[in-house]
Chains A and B, each alone.
Chain A
């Protein structure tokens, strides 16, 4: 079974994490910076969605000038497109977080790998014991069958009569 040591790391933040001695200071700083960047992105996206939606609501007033109404119609389409784009950006951010979780969750991965290793070792041990038991039972059965055969009438009929 392959060990779960993942090669790729989400983003570029936590790639410098140490082997078994825990994250170094540089890795911790990089992780904090990465977290800050993500939060900024989230804030920006949420703010953009709110801002665009606010503008959409604000232009709901009907003006006397048809020219202004047309202008506002174009602006509404633009705001709606921006909202959808921002939502898509948020979803991409979620995907990045999922990938980071996949490739950076060393603790849980290692625990799971160790657990699986212990399970497989246990299963191998059990299998080996079972094989040994099967062998012993086969040997005992063979001995018993040989004894029965050589003391049976079948054997007497098979061998030349003396």
Chain B
């Protein structure tokens, strides 16, 4: 407030005459009420100074702010003014109504102008259009999401249908563990076995859960090392077979990373492969279970020598031990080998059956070492095959195809399969040794040939030792005399065969050879050479064979001598010529399997019955004694020539 103070004085409260009529009536102004007095007093207050002050403040503020006005400043001020006027009006109305002096009859909205109507309409239309556009975007997003869902489901169910063609797919109702998995499982357990007693407990791998991967495709996740494979091998220091490489494990992590780049077909194929591996692992576990059960049944040929968890060691004879184990597929060779070695030490049962195991230093040189043990992998497959065919396939219809190699062999029921397998393996090892012996003999006897006869029987092996002798020079002449049966018979025999058959670990030798006792007494050559059949041991096999061959040669020489009309006597390995003066000249065969120059050597022995004292002077060690001469390792041609020489000697009657 300024220093100036303006004072105004009211009029004196004197009633002043407004008007007077002619008759003298005076009119005075009406009395003013209390409220009116108040109002008039209020009106008399001059608020101009306050208003001016406010205006000055506003001007100052606006000058202080930026010189450029805000574009909505005018609208804001108008709204503020409108708000003030409305407030004043509302206060007035409320005051008037409070005093009951005046009541508000009604308010009418001012009639909108045409431009206001159109603007309101356009705002509403724009709002609605915006709403529809928003809905359009929403529909597009939803359509896209639903299309993706449809595509994901199409891929998933397409793959599931393809899997169902080969596998048993089950659905767990209401057991979906994760959203979107629908609780599908694949059951790999085969409960249609033939023998109810052989029903196996379902493995933990039997039920495989089907999941979705990040792309919505079907996937099967298996933890690492969850399934195992059957391992078969030979245990002992002389084994040098390398174990087969483990399966290449396809883990879920690698599968998910690769799935984006592979097609659905490849994904389904990989799933098929994985399921097949798991199915095979279940089969391997069942085989191991069966083998374990059978191993502890008392039986010949199989002795359990070591046992651990998922590991079984057995002695099968022939100084050989084998092991069967179930190992995780991801383990490497070294791990399995080391575990196999450790198991020998940690076995519960005493290892007392390894006495017959041949240590490397005990074996001889290369020719005997070259056969070794059979192929480990082939027998692993054989083990699986016989169990599969005779335990698992019996429940189903037996295949119509022929060629079941096990049919008709040995004990084929479920109880004897392991015994049959071990005996087959033992036979293979033994037959290899037999073959080695025969090969050694054949290598050292040039006129002997070895012919193998595959028997296609897992416990039988057969060979033939074949010897072809030179044809007689009188063969052509005797053929002209076809009516002479004796002659024809004598010249027909130019081939000699000795058959060696091994059944399990029994060696049977059959062939012409040693004359029988009856034939010797009768003196008939036809009775002497007869087919013999007898068993022998492995240690005596070489000697037996050589004796058989030597006797066949003696028999042949004997026949040749008889053919030319010379009287000769035949012993087992000796052919004796009678000379004049009672002397006897003998051609004697000597067999020695260890002779590296030739296993069959020949001696010429002079037997003078009138000079017995001379025989005492024979130096046996000296082959050049006058009563005993070493001829050496002669071929058949040379033997035949020697025979002819001896014949001529007998005919000529010359002396030595």
A: which residues have CB within 8 A of B?
1-10, 56, 60, 62-64, 66, 69, 72-73, 76-77, 80, 83-84, 87-88, 91, 94-95, 98-99, 102-103, 109, 112, 116, 121, 124-125, 128-129, 131-132, 135, 138-139, 142-143, 146, 150, 155-156, 158-160, 162
Question: Chain B residues with Cβ under 8 A from A4's Cβ?
Answer: 164-168
Known: A4-B165, A6-B170, A112-B165. A162 touches B402 (CB 8 A): no
Which residue of A66, A80, A98, A128 is within 8 Å of B403 (Cβ)? A128
> Which B-chain residue is minimally distant from A115 (CB atoms)?
B165
Q: Provide the residues of chain A in CB contact with B168, threshold 8 Å.
A: 2-7
Residues of chain B within 8 A (CB-CB) of A98 are 153, 157
Residues of the A chain whose Cβ atoms lie less than 8 Å from the Cβ of B399 = 121, 124-125
| Cβ-closest chain B residue relative to A121 | B399
Q: Are B170 and A8 in contact (CB-based, < 8 A)?
A: yes
> Looking at the complex, which one of A3, A69, A99, A128 makes contact with B401 (CB distance below 8 Å)?
A128
A102→B166 contact, CB < 8 A: no
Interface of chain B residues 154 through 190 with chain A (CB within 8 A) = 157, 160-161, 164-173, 182, 187-188, 190
In the complex, the answer to whether B169 meets A6 with C-beta atoms within 8 Å is yes
Known: A146-B450, A150-B449. A87 touches B171 (CB 8 A): no
Stretch at the interface among B316-324, B438-446, B488-496: B438-446
Shortest distance from the beta carbon of A106 to any chain B beta carbon, whole Å? 12
B139–A66 CB distance below 8 A: no
Number of residues in B with C-beta < 8 Å to the partner?
60
How distant is B115 from chain A, measured CB to nearest CB, in Å?
Answer: 15
Q: Knowing A76-B135, A116-B166, A142-B454 are in contact, say whether A124-B401 is a contact too (CB < 8 A).
A: yes
Q: How far is the CA of A148 from the CA of B425 in the complex (A)?
A: 30
Give the CA-CA distance A125 to B399 in the complex, in Å: 8
> Distance (Å) between the CB of B405 and the closest chain A CB?
9
Given contacts A2-B187, A69-B128, A162-B638, contact A87 B164 (CB under 8 A): no
- CB pair B598 A162 closer than 8 Å: yes
CB-defined interface of B430-463 with A at 8 Å, one 1/0 digit per residue?
0000000000000111100111101010000000
Q: Besides A62-B128, A102-B161, A146-B451, 16 other CB < 8 A contacts?
A: A1-B166, A2-B188, A6-B168, A62-B124, A63-B124, A73-B127, A73-B131, A77-B131, A91-B150, A99-B157, A124-B401, A135-B456, A139-B452, A146-B452, A160-B444, A162-B633
Specify which chain B residues have a CB less than 8 angstroms from the CB of A102 in the assembled complex: 157, 160-161, 164, 169
| Contact status B403-A131, CB under 8 Å | yes
In the complex, what residues of A have CB within 8 A of residue B125's CB?
62
- B445's contact among A1, A99, A159, by CB below 8 Å, is which? A159
Q: Tell me whether B82 is interfacial, beta carbon within 8 Å.
A: no
B244-295, CB < 8 A from A: 279
Q: Supply 11 A–B pairs (Cβ within 8 Å), ascending by A.
A: A3-B168, A62-B128, A72-B128, A98-B153, A109-B165, A116-B166, A125-B403, A143-B451, A146-B450, A146-B451, A150-B450
The 8 closest A-B pairs by CB, nearest first: A8-B171, A125-B401, A7-B170, A128-B403, A150-B449, A159-B446, A162-B635, A84-B142
B146 touches A76 (CB 8 A): no
> A56 contacts which chain B residues (CB < 8 A)?
135
- Report the bound CA distance from A80 to B598 in whole Å: 104
Bound state CA distance, A112 and B166, in angstroms?
Answer: 9
Across the interface, B165 reaches (CB within 8 A) one of A69, A72, A103, A116, namely A116
Q: Which residues of A contact B638 (CB under 8 A)?
A: 162
Is B597 located at the chain interface by the 8 A CB criterion? yes
A160, B597: Cβ atoms under 8 Å?
yes
Q: Are A60 and B149 in contact (CB under 8 A)?
A: no
Residue of B nearest to A138 (CB): B454
Closest to A87 in B: B146
Question: Are the C-beta atoms of A142 and B452 separated by less than 8 Å?
Answer: yes
Given the known inter-chain contacts A146-B451, A160-B446, please indicate yes or no for A125 contacting B400, CB distance below 8 A.
Answer: yes
- Interchain CB contact (< 8 A) of A76 among B132, B153, B167, B632: B132
